[in-house]
Amino acid sequence: MSETIHITINGIPVEVEENTVILDAAKRINVVIPTLCYHQDICVAGNCRVCLVEVTGQKRLAAACATPCEEGMDILTNSLKVRNCRKHIIELLLSEHHSDCTKCYKNGKCELQFLASEYKIMTQDFIELYDEKVHTIDNFSPSIVKDDSKCIRCQRCVRTCEELQGVNALSVAYKGHRMKISTFYEKSMNEVVCTNCGQCVNRCPTGALVEKNYIEEVWEAISNPDLHVVVQTAPAVRVGLGEELGYPAGNRVTGKMVSALKRLGFDAVLDTDFTADLTILEEGSELLHRLKRALLDKESNVPLPMATSCSPGWIKYIEHMYPEYLPNLSTCKSPQQMFGALLKTYYAKVRNIDPKKIVSVSVMPCTAKKFEAARPEMHGSGYRDVDYVLTTRELAIMIKQAGINFAQLEEMEFDRLMGESTGAAVIFGVTGGVTEAALRTVYEIVTGREIPFKNLVVLPIRGMEGVRMSSVKIENPLEEWKFLEGVELNYAVAHGLTNAKKAMDQIKNGSASFHFLEVMACPGGCLGGGGQPIPTNFEIRKKRAAAIYAEDLGKPIRKSHENPEVIKIYKDFLGQPLGELSHKLLHTSYQTRERS
C-alpha cells in the first residue's frame, strides 16, 4: 500500500498516492499545466521548464512534470512569479526558434505556437538568435524532413528514438548554445540507421520533424484528366482520421473516409485490406511451407521462426541491426506494395487501362511507407508500384483543403475490384492482428475447422504488452498436413522496435521457442503509426485498437481465405499462393545495411 499525500494546488486540497508528480496531481482537479518536453509515452526530461510551478516556501520553481508531491506542499500554478517566468521561457524559446509560422508545415498544429498564443506573446523584446545562415534543412529522406531551425531541443524525438524504438538515430550533439539534435556524424536522416518509423515526427511539438508531404503531387495527378488516379487506404487510417477532423479518439470513419476520397476526385477508392487478406494467404502458405520443410522433409537450415514483413520500419531495422536474420523474414511484400503491384497489372488488365496512366496513391498511418514505396525492389509491375504515399494527417489536410464538411458526409462503400476485405484484414492495423488473422486462416487450412476461439477472437494475442507469446495446438489435421499432428504452433508478437529487439535477441541466443514472429515497428501497431494524428499516446492507442476490433466484429466475412475477391484473383490471375506470378508480384528481397 502506498502512502497518501495531502497537498493543495491553487488552494484546492488534493489527495494523491506517493510519487505522484505535480502535473498529474493537478490534472485530478482539472488544472492544466502547460508542457512541451513532456510526453506520456517517454521518460520525463524536465528540460523545457514550461511546466514550472511555485511551491510555497521555496525560492526556486519546480518542474511539475518531474517533481513528486510531498506531504503538505502548497502549490501555485498561476502565481505572478510563475506567469512571469513562464512567459520568459516562452519568449526565450521564440527568440531561438525560426518563427516563420505562416510558412510552416505545422502552422496551427504547433505546441509552441499554442503557448505563444495562450500567453499572448505579442512582442519580441529579446534579441533574435535564429540565424538563417547556420541552419540547413535535411529533406533527403523520402519520409522525414528535419529542420533544426524549428527545434526547441525538448529531446522528445531523442527519447522516442531511444526508448520506444531502440534505434538511436537521433541524439544530442554539442553543448551550450551549439547544442542540437543530430545524427551520426551529422549525416542526413536518409543515410543513417533511421527506420523512417516517424515516431519522432509524431512527438515533435514543433515543425522541426515533419513527414515529407506529397499533397501537391497528388493534387496535380488528380487534376490531370489523362491519368487514372487510384487510392488505397490502410486499415489503421479509418480509426485515426476522425481525430484530425473533429472526432474524439476511437471513432471509425470508414464510410465517410471513402466518401471524402471520392469527393477529392480519385478515380477509384480501394482498400489495402484487400491485399492484407492476400498477404495472409501468401504469408500463411509460406509459413506452412517452411514448417513442412523443417518437420516433414527434415531440412536442417529452414529459416524459422518466420517473421512478418508488413512493417517497413521493422524491415529497415532488421536490415541494419540483424542482417544475418534476413532469411527469417517472410518474403511477402507489405499489403501496400502488393496492392501497388497488382494495381498496375491485374487491375489495369481487368479495367483495360494503360498501366502507364495509373497513378497509385496510398493513404497510410505510416511515414516508413514513403520510404518503402521508393525502394528499388518495388517495381514488380514494371513501374513504380506505389507512386505517392500520404499519411493520415496529409489526407486530413487534403480533405480540409477541398472544403469538405466531413462530419456531414454520407457513408459510402469502397469500389469493387480490390475493394473487398474481411475482418481479418482490418485487424492488421493493431499489434497482434496479423498473427490473429493468420491463425484464423492457417488453422483452418490445416484442420479444415475454424480456429477454436469464441467469435474467432484469439484473445491470448490481444493487448498492449510489449512482447506477447502464446501457442495453439494442432489436432486432427487434414491428410495433407498430418505431419503437424500434435504440434504446438508457437507465436510471438512484438510492437515498438525496442520490443522487437527483445524478441530478436531471444532468437539470437537460441532461447526462442516460437515458429512465427509478428513485429510492428510502432507501439500499438499501425494504429500508433508515425503518420497517425498527433497526439498519439497510450490512451489513444487503446481507443483506436477498440475501434479496430469493433470494425472486425462488424464485418460479414472475418477470414481472409473467404474474401471472394481474393478467391477470384487466384482463380483468374495469380493461380495459387506462392505461385510463379505471386512470386513475381507479391514477394520481394531484402538488403543488408550499415549500422551508422
Partner 1 sequence: MIEQHLLLKRVDFIFVQDTDWEKILQKSIHRSRQELINELISSELKGRGGAGFPTGLKWKLTSEVQGNEKYVICNADEGEPGTFKDREILTRVPYKVLTAMAVCGYIVGASNGIIYLRGEYQFLEKPLNEAINEFSYFCKKINLDFTIKVFMGSGAYICGEETALFESLEGKRGEPRNKPPYPSVNGYRNKPTVINNVETLAHTYTIFKYGAKKFYDLGVQYSRGSKLFSVSGDTPKPGIYELELGMSLQDFVEEFGDGDTKAVQVGGASGFLVPRKKFSETAIGYQGKLIGISLPTGGSMMLFNSSRSMYNLLDNYLEFFREESCGQCTPCRIGCQQLLAGIKAVKKGDRPAPYLDKLLKLSETMQFTAKCGLGQSVANSFASIVENFREEMIY
The sheet with strand 268-271 has its strands ordered as: 268-271, 228-233, 358-364, 388-391
Nearer to partner 1, 16 or 373 (CB): 16
Binding partner 1 by CB under 8 A: which of 11, 60, 123, 405?
60
The answer to whether residue 538 forms part of the interface with partner 1 (CB under 8 A) is: no
**At closest approach, how far in Å is the CB of 54 from partner 1?**
9
Q: Which of 33, 61, 318, 493 binds partner 1 (CB under 8 A)?
A: 61
Residues in 469-528 at the binding interface with partner 1, rule: CB under 8 A:
none
Cell numbers for 100, please give them: 516563420
Is 480 assigned a catalytic role? no
From 99, 259, 311, 330, active-site residue: 330
52: contact with partner 1 by CB under 8 A: yes
Q: Verify binding: residue 20, partner 1, rule CB under 8 A.
A: no
Select the residue interacting with partner 1 from 47, 190, 470, 471 (CB under 8 A). 47
Cα–Cα distances (Å) from 65 to 49, 395, 536, in that order, read: 9, 34, 19
The dihedrals phi and psi of 180, each to the nearest 5 degrees, come to -150, 165
Using the contact rule CB under 8 A, the part of the chain among 53-61, 256-264, 303-311, 330-338 near partner 1 is 53-61
Angstrom distance (rounded) from CA 82 to CA 180 = 27
Q: Is 377 a catalytic residue?
A: yes
**Which residue(s) pair with 210 in the sheet?**
145
Q: How far is the CB of 53 from partner 1 (least distance, A)?
A: 11
CB of 60 to partner 1, least distance (A): 5
Residue 535: how many other CB atoms lie within 10 Å: 16
At its nearest, how many Å lie between partner 1 and the CB of residue 87? 9
Q: How far is the CB of 208 from partner 1 (least distance, A)?
A: 15
Q: Is 310 assigned a catalytic role?
A: yes
Among 28, 118, 126, 567, binds partner 1 (CB under 8 A): 126
- How many chain residues bind partner 1 (CB under 8 A)? 39
Stretch of 122-130, 234-242, 257-265, 573-581 contacting partner 1, by CB under 8 A:
122-130
The binder of partner 1 chosen from 127, 216, 248, 454 (CB under 8 A): 127
The answer to the question of residue 66 lying near partner 1 (CB under 8 A) is yes
84 binds partner 1 (CB under 8 A): yes
Beta strand extents in 336-451 (DSSP E only): 358-364, 388-391
Q: Which three cell numbers stand for residue 290?
A: 517452411
State yes or no: residue 553 binds partner 1 (CB under 8 A): no
**What's the burial of 133, exposed, middle or buried (CB within 10 Å: 0-12/13-18/19+)?**
exposed
Name every residue whose Cβ is closer than 8 Å to that of residue 85 and which is 6 or more positions away in sequence. 52, 61
**Residue 595 beta carbon to partner 1: minimum distance, rounded to whole angstroms:** 18
Binding partner 1 (rule: CB under 8 A), the pick from 14, 75, 115, 152 is: 152
- Tell whether residue 67 is a contact of partner 1 (CB under 8 A): yes
Binder among 76, 85, 121, 397 for partner 1 (CB under 8 A): 85
- Is 458 one of the binding residues for partner 1 (CB under 8 A)? no
| Catalytic residue chosen out of the listed positions 146, 369, 370, 501 | 369
Positive or negative, the CA dihedral 572, 576, 580, 583 is: positive
Instruction: Name, in order, each residue with C-beta under 8 angstroms of 104's C-beta and a sequence gap of 6 or more.
Output: 110, 150, 207
Q: Which is nearer to partner 1, 174 or 539 (CB)?
A: 174
Q: Is 559 in the site for partner 1 (CB under 8 A)?
A: no
Q: Of 87-95, 218-226, 375-383, 427-435, which segment contacts partner 1 by CB under 8 A?
A: 87-95
Q: Is 509 exposed, middle or buried (0-12, 13-18, 19+ CB in 10 A)?
A: exposed
> Closest distance between partner 1 and the C-beta of residue 525, in Å?
31
DSSP 72: T
Q: Which of 310, 332, 366, 522 is catalytic?
A: 310
Alpha helices in 67-126 (DSSP H): 80-96, 111-118
In the bound complex, what is the minimum distance in angstroms from residue 9's beta carbon to partner 1?
Answer: 19
Closer to partner 1 by CB, 81 or 351: give it.
Answer: 81
Looking up cell 476522425, which residue turns up? 242
Cα–Cα dist 232/338, whole Å? 11
Q: Which is nearer to partner 1, 114 or 325 (CB)?
A: 114
Q: Is 283 a catalytic residue?
A: yes
Half-sphere exposure of 60 (CA within 13 A, CB side): 5
Task: Identify whether 526 is a catalytic site residue.
Answer: yes
- DSSP state, 128? P
* 3-state class (DSSP) for residue 489: strand
Q: What are phi and psi of 402, to 5 degrees?
A: -80, 0
Angle between helices 392-401 and 215-222 (to 10 degrees): 50
- In contact, 385 and 587? CB cutoff 8 Å: no
Please count the other Cβ atoms lying within 10 Å of the Cβ belonging to residue 43: 11
Which residue type, as a one-letter code, is found at position 213? N
Q: Which residue in 129, 134, 137, 296 binds partner 1 (CB under 8 A)?
A: 129
Angle between helices 80-96 and 111-118 (to 10 degrees): 140
User: What is the contact mask toward partner 1 in residues 179 to 218, using x (rule: CB under 8 A)?
Assistant: x---------------------------------------
Regarding 44 and contact with partner 1 (CB under 8 A), the answer is yes
Q: How far is 573 from 576, CA to CA, in rounded Å?
A: 9
**Cis status, amide bond into 564, omega within 30 of 0:** no
Q: Is 410 designated active site? A: no
Pick the binder of partner 1 from 5, 42, 45, 569 (CB under 8 A).
45
Count CB atoms within 10 A of the CB of residue 352.
6
CB 521 within 8 A of CB 197: yes
Among 3, 125, 131, 479, indicate the residue that binds partner 1 (CB under 8 A): 125
Residues that bind partner 1 (CB under 8 A): 44-50, 52, 59-61, 63, 66-68, 81, 84-85, 88-89, 92-93, 95-96, 125-127, 129, 152-153, 155, 171-172, 174-179
Active site residues: 283, 286, 310, 330, 369, 372, 377, 526
